Structure 1
Amino acid sequence: MADWLEVTEGEAPLIVAFPHTGTEIDPQIEARLASPWLARKDADWRIEQLYDFAGDLGATTIRTRISRTVIDVNRDPSGASLYPGQAVTELCPTTTFDGEPLYRPGAEPDATEIAERRTRWFAPYYTALEAQIRRLRARHPAVVLYDAHAIRSRIPRLFEGELPHFNIGTNSGASCAAELAGAVFEACDAEGFSRILDGRFKGGWTTRRYGQPADGVHAVQMELACRAYLDEPESPLSDDAWPAPWDGARAEPCRTVLRRVLASCLQFAEGEA
């Protein structure tokens, strides 16, 4: 297995995926970037630490250490937008979420390079994910695929106002059973936190492609507003203020909710037997 791809196998009917926590960038790509900090600005910061209890539940985890600036493994590999009519970043992003250029003028990847990146990084990530889905479906009547994300609470280019703390995506109900969506939504009911089901974030490529309830694979995306677990600074950001440092005590209330969320996913999958 590629050294940038981390897979930890568990036996429970739950896969937790981390597609955007990576910060590694190939040196030949990084040399063409406008700023190393901008290239990592939109990572899903500290999410793998936030969910470090998943293995204790018997979940399988899969994580790429490659930065989403290199290639975004939660985008349609054809390059088609998952949110037509709304601002989004590309399969191989050329701007930050805020619209700042990632590359020096004229250094953006062309179609040939994008195809090479798909082969080198995108395809192996999904080959590994598909192998884990097959392995667990051979052992369980149902499997939950939980795609773990985070994003800054306010990004005017992408959405209006401030995001709820917990943004649950099920592709408008198509990627999982209604019972699972309802259980996850209820698990997020906690004092001091807000929640929404299929709001601005309905699920990316992973949720939409692999959520096949009729085949026993139920996919849910959780997009956390970063303020749920980090001391998120006000925009505009600077490289000395972002990412915020990890603070376990600060994150614990959110972790308590997420433990309930993953427990509800397991309870659903095990109840399908």
Structure 2
Amino acid sequence: MQDSSTALGQRPLFEQIKGNTPLLLHVPHAGTEVPDSLRSALKPEALALSDTDWHMDRIARDLLPEGASLMRARVTRYAVDLNRPPDDTPLYSGATTGLISTIDFDGAPLYRPGAEPDSDEQTDRIATWWTPYHKALGEEIARIKAAHGFCVLLDMHSIRSHIPRLFEGRLPDLNLGTNSDTACQQSLSDAALAALQASNFSVVRNGRFKGGYITRHYGQPSRNEHALQIEIAQSCYMMEEAPWTYLPDRADRLKDALARLIAVLADFKPNLEQAQ
């Protein structure tokens, strides 16, 4: 079943496919919708939306197993970052960007001088986009859990492979995050890692990207809610500069590796009694 939801008369917040299995693929950062008020405030170069997880929604749809669910955001992360906590507590000790960031990943200003969002604007954005989105995500996880006794969430992300401000050198191809193996059952984390390591891509678990707010908040294995994040170096499937061209040959190779990961998640059966 497909669905699209709108908050407070704004553009649709997300697109959704409601399935009938425990698996949910989630793509929070592929949105390219720019609200009019934000468009007028951003610098022209920021409208290239360079920090978007380009094409991850396409890849998720291509890999969606029969019966699995999918949820993906439509609004750009420059409006509000859905993978940050509502109080904007930093998730990493190193350089990063915030809930409503005024800089991009490279540290360049996003806004025209004097157009940065004030506290009222920030509060409004959280109420308009962040809060209703997470309400819907929480409800979807609850729906899946009610039907099957558990839910497995794969939070799908990508990022340019070289961003000196955020990490040294080249990012590994496939970065699995389980919040240091607290966001999912250990056996699931190990099986997911093994599935990725069976590919020819470089793989790391709980490295620079061990999971953002979504993985940490919704990954509660004691409540039969298991969450994993995959952060993919964009050079694996696209050009890393505007116009962010999708490269089918590279993408097909990547999708082969991700399909093995998703198969492991789809086959996972937790010990429900142990989790009570």
Q: TM-score by structure 1 length?
A: 0.92
1:267 paired residue number: 267
Secondary structure of 2:88's counterpart equals coil
1:171 paired residue number: 179
Instruction: State how far apart, in whole Å, the 2-side matches of 1:185 and 1:196 are.
Output: 8
Instruction: State how far apart, in whole Å, the 1-side matches of 2:85 and 2:211 are.
Output: 12
1:212 paired residue number: 220
Q: Report whether the alignment pairs 1:131 with 2:156.
A: no
Q: Give 1:250 deviation, angstroms.
A: 2.4
Moved more, 34-43 or 173-182: 34-43
Instruction: State how far apart, in whole Å, the 2-side matches of 1:45 and 1:106 are.
Output: 29
Alignment of 1:86-235 (within 5 A): 86-232=94-240
Superposed CA deviations along residues 11-43 of structure 1, whole A, max 9, x for unmatched, are 110111111000111111110111254551100
CA contact 1:97–1:155 (8 Å) conserved in 2: yes
Instruction: State how far apart, in whole Å, the 2-side matches of 1:36 and 1:16 are.
Output: 31
- Quickly say closer, same or farther: Cα 1:191–1:146, change in 2 above 3 A: closer
Q: Give 1:269 deviation, angstroms.
A: 3.6
Among 10, 19, 35, the alignment partner of 1:26 is 35
CA contact 2:59–2:255 (8 Å) conserved in 1: yes
1:12 paired residue number: 21
2:9 paired residue number: none
Superposed CA deviations along residues 171-212 of structure 1, whole A, max 9, x for unmatched, are 111101111111111111245310000000010110000100
Instruction: State how far apart, in whole Å, the 2-side matches of 1:184 and 1:222 are.
Output: 10
- Quickly say closer, same or farther: Cα 1:96–1:89, change in 2 above 3 A: same
> Structure 1, unaligned stretches of length 5 or more?
233-240
Q: Give 1:271 deviation, angstroms.
A: 7.4
Q: Report whether the alignment pairs 1:246 with 2:246.
A: yes
One-letter identity of the residue aligned with 1:114: Q
- Quickly say closer, same or farther: Cα 1:39–1:74, change in 2 above 3 A: farther
2:60 paired residue number: 51
> Structure 2, unaligned stretches of length 5 or more?
7-11
CA contact 2:48–2:242 (8 Å) conserved in 1: no
- Quickly say closer, same or farther: Cα 1:127–1:36, change in 2 above 3 A: farther
CA contact 2:102–2:110 (8 Å) conserved in 1: yes
CA contact 1:147–1:207 (8 Å) conserved in 2: yes
Instruction: State how far apart, in whole Å, the 2-side matches of 1:266 and 1:243 are.
Output: 34
Superposed CA deviations along residues 91-113 of structure 1, whole A, max 9, x for unmatched, are 11111100110001121111111
Sequence identity percentage: 41
Moved more, 182-191 or 73-82: 182-191
Runs of 4+ deviating beyond 2 Å: 36-39, 53-57, 247-250, 269-273
Q: Report whether the alignment pairs 1:81 with 2:119.
A: no
Q: Give 1:243 deviation, angstroms.
A: 3.8
Q: Give 1:5 deviation, angstroms.
A: 1.4
Aligned length, in residue pairs: 264
- Quickly say closer, same or farther: Cα 1:36–1:121, change in 2 above 3 A: farther
Secondary structure of 2:138's counterpart equals helix
- Quickly say closer, same or farther: Cα 1:27–1:129, change in 2 above 3 A: same
Secondary structure of 1:108's counterpart equals coil
CA contact 1:143–1:269 (8 Å) conserved in 2: no
Instruction: State how far apart, in whole Å, the 2-side matches of 1:120 and 1:94 are.
Output: 18
Instruction: State how far apart, in whole Å, the 2-side matches of 1:155 and 1:36 are.
Output: 17
Q: TM-score by structure 2 length?
A: 0.91
Secondary structure of 1:52's counterpart equals helix
